[in-house]
Structure 1
Amino acid sequence: MNLLNKISIWFIAIVLLVTPLSMYISYTNIKKRLDNVEIERLRSVNNYVAAQLKRGETPEKTSQGLPISIKPYAGSGIIPTNPEIIHTCLDNNGVSKNECKIQINSFVTAANKTYKISSYSYITSTEQIMKGMLSALILKVLLITAIVFITARILSRYILKPFHHAIDNIHQFNIQKREPLQLLPTSTNEFKKLNEFLRLMTDKAIEDYTSVKEFSENASHEVQTPLAIIQSKIELLAETEINGKQAALLTDIQNSIDKLSRINRSLILLTKLNNHEFLTEEKLKFCKVEKEVIQAYSDHLALKNITLNRHCEKDVFVKIHPALAEILLNNLLSNAIRHNLKNGKIEIKLTSKFFQISNTGLPPDIPTQELFKRFKKSNQSTESIGLGLSIVQQICDVNTFPVHYDFADGWHSITVYFDNRKSQFFRSTSTQPNPVAEIGAIQPTFNFAE
């Protein structure tokens, strides 16, 4: 629920809470005033008639438009000094239920005789007053509700326009363009503070992004240059006369240089992924890229005599940058080969909803989900630099693809879900692949089920 609706509902709730209370107070005051006014009027009529009796005049049967009854007092004992007030709302003698009768009985002594003077009148009953006020209340609440919702939306176009403009600009803000955030001027103090904070925040983000990007690019260039020089020197040294011990040392140095170069390239790629430099709105034919990557690794599969089975749907399109798709599949397949057993197996499944690669291998010595962290790796391979699955995780995060790692019955399985909303369903229903029979002695077997 947006802010405008919350404020409107809150205001209407206050009206609904206060209005019945104010209506009850108004009803009580109105009823009391009506009764008191009529009682005072009847008293004055009785007093007027009593004065006529004391002067020996014959009073009229009616006075001030009200019926008057004058009878000799038949009671015994002390004559009441205060008038009697009788208030009845009974449906008798043809009196309507919509009216209540107020009767005032006064007692006066004139010419040694005591008289009872009675006058009465009809006023609107309590129920009728309440019904009238309830009708007015319902109309008032409906009118207030309609006016609040209509005027709130009209005013929001002007009062909340800077806020909505700021939200839209934040959604469209792209740090890679390095353009400052453009916001509408406003006279509202709160929106002024918000705009100032957003400008400072985005300007600082652009500045930090520029610094990090320049640093990573400079660091990459500066690191690769001495690595290339060292490698060329090692190659020149290897061409000279060296003994076996020196050759082993040069091999170790070369392996370390290669590893350092891979780490540098991987860290640069992670930085670019964090900076969202691979955004795309087009869908890629994922099954085609996956087939090309497998063909590129055919020699690696043959070296370890790994049997590969592939079960893929036709025309699988996924919204992902082509470079990221190739890096993702390269990392997953090279990981499955590197951590596989001699004469092991790899099973690949591809549908429009998920991609799964499974391989045989030794059990991991740490929880499988921790292997997605940077420089985390199991102990079965010392060749890994510990960044392959971290890159996989980052690519999936950039494209909002949930990724899950399972190990069961000697099989490592990594599943990438293309539909974030259905990942839980597929995760709960997916099962580990059954070991497949080896086909071929040296060359890997490709089962293209398209």
Structure 2
Amino acid sequence: MNLLNKISLWFIAIVLLVTPVSMYISYNSTKKRLDDVEIERLKSVNQHVTYQLRVGEAPEKKTQGLPISVTLLKGNTLPSKNPEVIHTCLKNNGFSLNECKIRINTYMALDQKVYRISSYTYVTATEEIIGGMLNALFFKMILITALVLITARILSKFILKPFHHAIDGLQQFSIQKKERLQLIPTSTKEFKKLNEFLQNMTDKALEDYASVKEFSENASHEVQTPLAVIQSKIELLAETDINGTQAALLNDIQNSIDKLSRINRSLMLLTKLNNHEFSTHQKVKFCTVEKETLFTYSDHLALKSITLNRQCEKGVYVKIHPALTEILLSNLLSNAIRHNLEEGRIEVNLTRHFYQISNTGQEPDVPTQELFKRFKKSNQSQDSIGLGLSIVKQICEVNEFPVYYDFSKGWHTITVYFDKDHHHQPFVPEQNPETLDSAFENVEQIMNSPV
């Protein structure tokens, strides 16, 4: 529910709470005013008749259209309450139920005699007044509700136009486009402050993004240059006459250079993922890329005599950047090979809802979900740089794919779901190696199978 609708509902609720109170006050005030007017009128009539009696004139049966009666009372003592007001609502005797009777009795002493001068009239009954007020209230509430809703739409269209424009601008704002946030001018003080804050915030974000991107690119370039020089020097040194000890040292240096280069590339990739530089609206044929990735790693599978079993649906399309698809599958498969056992097994399962890869291996010495953190490694492989699963996690977060890492009965399982509405169930492949072919032959069969 938007802000104006909430304000409208609050306003209508307040009106509904206040109106009965105001109606009660108005009713009492109106009823009292009507009665007071008629009482004053009757008193005036009685005073006129009293004057006529004192001057010796015979009073008429009606004065000012009101019936008059003059009665001689016994005794010569005036009542303490003079004039006397009698208010009676008629219930029967054929009178209308919508009227009440007001009678005024005025007492006067004349020639040691006491006379009672009486006049009366009818006023609208309580039920009639309340009925009229309820009818007026009903139409009043309809009118107020309609006006509030119409006014809210007008406010939303004109007065809140700068606010809506700012929200739309923020939703479309992207630091990758390197374009400033464009906001419309406004004379409203609060919206002007909001626009100033948003403008300063987005400008600062653009500056910070440009600085970080420039720094990371420069750092990557500056690191790669000396690595390339060291690499060439090692190759030249390896061509000279060296002994076995020197060759082993050169090999260690070469491995360290390769590892440092992989770390540099992985950190650059993570930076680009954090900056959302791989946005896409197209769908990739995931099953095709997955099959090509398996063929790329066929030599690695055969080198460790790993048996691969694959169960994949045909025609699986996923909304993800093509480059990220290759990186995701490559990291998952290389992770399953690197941390696998000699003559181990890998199980791959692909459906329209998830991609799952399982491999045999040693039990990790840290919780499996912590392995998604940067430079977090288990005891399975010393060659790992500790960034492969971090990249997998970041790719999944960028594309809003939930990802899980489970270990059970000697099996490591990573599951990537392609939709948010999922129900995660850890998968443990069947342990029946007799039914599987060798790794290389299995990959050859996969490449020849349709997707």
State the TM-score, normalized to the length of structure 1: 0.95
CA-to-partner distance for each residue in 1:324-376, whole Å, 9 max, x for gaps? Answer: 00000000000001111111111111111110111111111111111111001
Q: Is 1:31 the equivalent of 2:46?
A: no
**1:36-51 paired onto structure 2 within 5 Å:** 36-51=36-51
Q: More displaced, 293-302 or 54-63?
A: 54-63
Does the 8 Å CA contact 1:366/1:378 hold for their aligned counterparts? Answer: yes
Q: Aligned pair in 2 of structure 1 residues 177, 443: CA closer, same or farther (>3 Å)?
A: closer
Q: Aligned pair in 2 of structure 1 residues 61, 336: CA closer, same or farther (>3 Å)?
A: same
In 2, the alpha carbon distance for the partners of 1:271 and 1:149 equals: 49
Q: Is 1:434 the equivalent of 2:421?
A: no
Does the 8 Å CA contact 1:301/1:337 hold for their aligned counterparts? Answer: yes
**1:314-325 paired onto structure 2 within 5 Å:** 314-325=314-325
Instruction: Give the C-alpha shift of residue 445 in structure 1.
Output: 2.8
Counterpart of 1:147 in structure 2: which amino acid? L
Instruction: Give the C-alpha shift of residue 20 in structure 1.
Output: 2.0
Does the 8 Å CA contact 2:289/2:326 hold for their aligned counterparts? Answer: yes
In 2, the alpha carbon distance for the partners of 1:435 and 1:280 equals: 39
Q: Percent identity?
A: 70
CA-to-partner distance for each residue in 1:20-73, whole Å, 9 max, x for gaps? Answer: 222222111111111111111111211221222222221111111111122221
> Which residue in 2 is equivalent to 1:243?
243
Q: Aligned pair in 2 of structure 1 residues 119, 245: CA closer, same or farther (>3 Å)?
A: same
In 2, the alpha carbon distance for the partners of 1:80 and 1:189 equals: 69
> Which residue in 2 is equivalent to 1:196?
196
In 2, the alpha carbon distance for the partners of 1:411 and 1:193 equals: 57
Instruction: Give the C-alpha shift of residue 81 in structure 1.
Output: 4.9
Does the 8 Å CA contact 2:102/2:120 hold for their aligned counterparts? Answer: yes
In 1, the alpha carbon distance for the partners of 2:81 and 2:373 equals: 100
Does the 8 Å CA contact 1:308/1:444 hold for their aligned counterparts? Answer: no
In 1, the alpha carbon distance for the partners of 2:31 and 2:211 equals: 78
> Which residue in 2 is equivalent to 1:392?
392
Counterpart of 1:180 in structure 2: which amino acid? R
Q: Aligned pair in 2 of structure 1 residues 204, 160: CA closer, same or farther (>3 Å)?
A: same
Counterpart of 2:174 in structure 1: which amino acid? N
Counterpart of 1:445 in structure 2: which amino acid? N
Instruction: Give the C-alpha shift of residue 403 in structure 1.
Output: 0.6
Q: Aligned pair in 2 of structure 1 residues 440, 354: CA closer, same or farther (>3 Å)?
A: closer
Gap runs ≥5 in structure 1? none
Partner secondary structure for residue 340 of structure 1? coil
Does the 8 Å CA contact 2:306/2:438 hold for their aligned counterparts? Answer: no
Partner secondary structure for residue 132 of structure 1? helix
In 2, the alpha carbon distance for the partners of 1:45 and 1:131 equals: 31
Instruction: Give the C-alpha shift of residue 76 in structure 1.
Output: 8.6
In 1, the alpha carbon distance for the partners of 2:156 and 2:121 equals: 55
CA-to-partner distance for each residue in 1:293-338, whole Å, 9 max, x for gaps? Answer: 0011111011111111110111000011110000000000000011
Instruction: Give the C-alpha shift of residue 384 in structure 1.
Output: 0.5
Instruction: Give the C-alpha shift of residue 128 in structure 1.
Output: 1.2
> Which residue in 1 is equivalent to 2:129?
129
Q: Aligned pair in 2 of structure 1 residues 397, 75: CA closer, same or farther (>3 Å)?
A: farther
In 1, the alpha carbon distance for the partners of 2:201 and 2:9 equals: 33
Instruction: Give the C-alpha shift of residue 78 in structure 1.
Output: 5.6
In 1, the alpha carbon distance for the partners of 2:179 and 2:438 equals: 59
Instruction: Give the C-alpha shift of residue 16 in structure 1.
Output: 2.0
Instruction: Give the C-alpha shift of residue 443 in structure 1.
Output: 3.8
Does the 8 Å CA contact 2:76/2:109 hold for their aligned counterparts? Answer: no
> Which residue in 1 is equivalent to 2:154?
154
Gap runs ≥5 in structure 2? none
Instruction: Give the C-alpha shift of residue 77 in structure 1.
Output: 6.4
**1:285-296 paired onto structure 2 within 5 Å:** 285-296=285-296
2:442 to 436, 440, 445: 445
Partner secondary structure for residue 433 of structure 2? coil
In 2, the alpha carbon distance for the partners of 1:402 and 1:197 equals: 34
> Which residue in 2 is equivalent to 1:61?
61
Q: Is 1:402 the equivalent of 2:437?
A: no
Counterpart of 1:103 in structure 2: which amino acid? R
Partner secondary structure for residue 137 of structure 2? helix
Counterpart of 1:152 in structure 2: which amino acid? A
Partner secondary structure for residue 280 of structure 2? coil
Partner secondary structure for residue 281 of structure 1? coil
Q: Aligned pair in 2 of structure 1 residues 323, 81: CA closer, same or farther (>3 Å)?
A: closer
Q: More displaced, 117-126 or 385-394?
A: 117-126
Counterpart of 1:280 in structure 2: which amino acid? T
In 1, the alpha carbon distance for the partners of 2:79 and 2:316 equals: 108
Counterpart of 1:160 in structure 2: which amino acid? L
State the TM-score, normalized to the length of structure 2: 0.95
Does the 8 Å CA contact 1:345/1:435 hold for their aligned counterparts? Answer: no
Does the 8 Å CA contact 2:78/2:108 hold for their aligned counterparts? Answer: no
CA-to-partner distance for each residue in 1:262-318, whole Å, 9 max, x for gaps? Answer: 000000001111111111111110000000000111110111111111101110000
Instruction: Give the C-alpha shift of residue 19 in structure 1.
Output: 2.1
Counterpart of 1:351 in structure 2: which amino acid? T
In 2, the alpha carbon distance for the partners of 1:442 and 1:219 equals: 40
CA RMSD in angstroms comes to 1.7
**1:200-279 paired onto structure 2 within 5 Å:** 200-279=200-279
Q: Aligned pair in 2 of structure 1 residues 71, 78: CA closer, same or farther (>3 Å)?
A: closer
In 2, the alpha carbon distance for the partners of 1:13 and 1:164 equals: 26
Instruction: Give the C-alpha shift of residue 74 in structure 1.
Output: 4.0
Q: Is 1:139 the equivalent of 2:139?
A: yes
> Which residue in 2 is equivalent to 1:372?
372
Q: Aligned pair in 2 of structure 1 residues 390, 442: CA closer, same or farther (>3 Å)?
A: closer
Q: Aligned pair in 2 of structure 1 residues 378, 62: CA closer, same or farther (>3 Å)?
A: same
In 2, the alpha carbon distance for the partners of 1:79 and 1:368 equals: 102
Instruction: Give the C-alpha shift of residue 111 in structure 1.
Output: 3.1
Q: Is 1:22 the equivalent of 2:19?
A: no
Instruction: Give the C-alpha shift of residue 83 in structure 1.
Output: 1.8
> Which residue in 2 is equivalent to 1:311?
311
In 2, the alpha carbon distance for the partners of 1:236 and 1:13 equals: 86
In 1, the alpha carbon distance for the partners of 2:440 and 2:180 equals: 57
Q: More displaced, 31-40 or 79-88?
A: 79-88
Does the 8 Å CA contact 2:301/2:439 hold for their aligned counterparts? Answer: no
Counterpart of 2:328 in structure 1: which amino acid? L
Q: Aligned pair in 2 of structure 1 residues 195, 155: CA closer, same or farther (>3 Å)?
A: same
